[in-house]
Structures are given as structure tokens and as C-alpha cells.
Amino acid sequence: MDSIEAIAQRMDNAHQWLVDTLKEHGAGDYAEEIAQYYIKEKIVKRDLHVNSYKFLHGAFLDSDVIERAVELVKRKEC
């Protein structure tokens, strides 16, 4: 595996970690959309050294915050 493929794999792993983490904290079927929103709004920052993302603040994983993010994503889908 060359270095570009390795970087791409780490990026994929980091994104999957973010989606899985959001699912574990209540995002359910909207985890992918919330992950995209968190990335776009720079709520999370990619850390390829450990194949994950870092949250700007742990409160973004609180259930009430994720519930609001789900509502936001639902409104954007309409």
C-alpha cells in the first residue's frame, strides 16, 4: 500500500469512527448526515494519527445536542 492509499484508508477509518460514535450516542439513522454537518461546521477535527476525529467540546456528544442535530438534519431533508 503506497502512502496515498494509506492516507485515504485512514481518512475512511476516521469517518467511520465518527459515524459509529454518533450512532452510539443516539444519532441512529441520521449519524452520517450529522457527521457531515459536524465536519462542515468544524465541530470536529480529523486526527489521522489515531484514525478518528476530535470534538471541539465533549458537549457535542450529549444526547440533547445530538437530538437537536437530528432535528436540524431532518428539516434540511424536507
Instruction: Read off the pLDDT of residues 13-59 as tens digits, 9 standing for 90 and up.
Output: 999 999 999 999 999 999 999 999 999 999 999 987 888 999 999 99
Which pLDDT value is given to residue 35?
A: 97
The total number of structural domains in the chain stands at 1
Residue-wise pLDDT tens digits, 31-44:
999 999 999 999 99
Q: Print the domain residue range for 71.
A: 3-77
Which pLDDT value is given to residue 70?
A: 95
Please state the pTM of the whole predicted model. Answer: 0.88
Which pLDDT value is given to residue 1?
A: 63
Residue 53 near residue 47 (C-beta atoms within 8 A): yes
Using the structure block, give the residue that is written with the C-alpha cell 454537518. 37
Residue 35 near residue 15 (C-beta atoms within 8 A): yes
Report d(CA 11, CA 68) in Å as an integer.
Answer: 27
